Structure 1
Amino acid sequence: MHQSLDLPVADALAAVSVTVDDVVECTPLTGGTYNALLRVVLRDGRRWIVKCPPSGDGASALAYEHDLLRAESVYYRAAAGTPQVPVPRLVHAALDGDPPMVPCLVMTECPGSPWHQVDAQLEPSERTRLRGELGGIVARLHATTGDAFGYPALPFGPAAATWREAFTDMTRAVLDDAQRYDAQLPRPVADLRKVFASAAGVLDEVTRPALVHFDLWQGNLLIDGEPGARTISGVIDGERMFWGDPVAEFVSLSLFDDIERDTDFLTGYAQAGGQAEFTDSVRLRLNLYRCYLYLIMLVETVPRGYSREQRAWTWRHAGSSLTKAVGAVEEAAKSSP
């Protein structure tokens, strides 16, 4: 049994020669925070995920959220040739259709369950092994290099030739969003602009645009297998990716914690060729990226219409973490040449 297919989904499936009669299951999925997800199971056993943008004109989105499906398609294509990295395979990408066609991605479904749903079932030794496995996967992804810096959908204009230029555009945009939505922040926007500018010189150390997912919390990591033999079966939802500093990846991997304490992950990362030496300048860059992600978390509470409880949780965690990261940037900037 399946519900009737929406027109954009039917169009996307028709593009790969699949009709409504070929579909035995069509189920909306929860858990996404922006785009709409649908699981499609075909009579021949193939299992696909169809992703479409939210309805509306995008006026309630943050500036960087322009054309997120394009970013996700770039991520999976870039990662597809990387060995030992479990990402969905793109089946079809409809990104440039003329209205009334709606952009859509069709991709294979990775097996398994989100890590946070099974984490309580993991023995300490298995969790240790999985964190090391994750470190290796992330290091291999970071070895992929792009042609320019920033978001691939170019939400702020032409591609940036330097990471400093790209990240300055990114932070400027989220602070503009904060003003546009009158978001509650622990520091005035003007102060935060000065903080980012005071440390911008450290960004010049980044000269290679690496593939960065930037949303590797446990909900975007799938785990599959029998107890004691589980593996990471999927790295999904690459829609917020950018080409930039691989150090930025460590923020979502240890969202309100310190990645330097995650020795299991860092060991796997180093063994697979990742560079994870935490010098003063690396720590400064890491705190800049923490500021950026915490700002996104705080600002997006407004256009997404968070409940009072959700806003309180975000303010308690992201607000206090932003204050701490901003303080660390200010202290480091004072001592920098």
Structure 2
Amino acid sequence: MNSSRFEGCTLTGALSVLTEVRDAVCIIHGPAGCAHHNFSLLHATLLSNDRLEVPLLLSTRLTENDIIFGGEEALETTIARALSLSPTPASIFVLSTCIVETIGDDTEAVCAKPRGVPVIAVPTAGFLGGVFETGIKGALLAVASLARPETAEPTLSANLVGEKNLEYGVDENAAEIARLLGRLGIGINLRFVRGISTRDLERLGSATVNILREPALQPVGEDLRRRFGTPYVDSFPAGLSGTCRFLEEVGRISGIDASDAVEEERAYQKAMLEGFCDMAGSRVCFQTAHPMLGADPAAEAVCTECARALDLTVAPDGVLVPFPYPAPVGTAGLRRMLHRWRLLVRG
């Protein structure tokens, strides 16, 4: 078995979601090193995206003595410390580390004690097979547990579910989804989870449709459908034809005739492609992002479709063009990708 791992830490995946609940505190139940590593990563990523923010993390700072005799007392102390902060957090998420799961701390029982503020246990130990994406799914489900179906009032709107908060272009992707939904007269209800408050979760069940960032989040989509009855689209749009299918699917779910919106988008795409007609006839060769990971099938399909639309020849001796990862979102994402292609082709 190949034991090489590229999928990332479960804890990091969960924190990429939970730190976007602005009035919450995240407690990392484990050694100080787990908190230090993740704080440094999140802070650096925020700065690289021009977000001058500091993720609010606390650590139980388990010592050798805690690991031998149990860390539940350290967790109690750290929760009390979180509650003493000013302003008082509206919610607290407790994330378990590998060592905590190994020694058998009953994190859920500690978190379940009444304190006047919801304290949610999020299992994020990855040593039993969890990866970065596992952490994202677990965190989304944990945040959803704070929402109450009875507070929802249905509106013609959409939730964006599971945006990749650590990727470049996350806000540009959200803006592209908003542009596409605008063709259907649908607004964004909630970015679940990005830059929201605990109280914003009252709106979680009021959207007409949930739009998942990628198909891997279908378990989250199904959970939200069970809780609120909200249907979902299983991914952001990718590719020329995929973007039009996205409009058709959202329209069908929302009871809207999407034919005019699709025609408008096709005309928009045609005009966009005409801006790159100077590349017609060029020879390109698609290059995988990593020799062991291979190409993302969605990105490969998008690249092949764009090459055909621009009359590019895909050949082994062509200019090396890297596959994007993840696949570009919507027509705006394709435009950004094609700008990079032109720089390479025209040298």
TM-score (norm 2): 0.28
Higher relative contact order (Cα pairs below 8 Å, separated by 6+ residues): 1
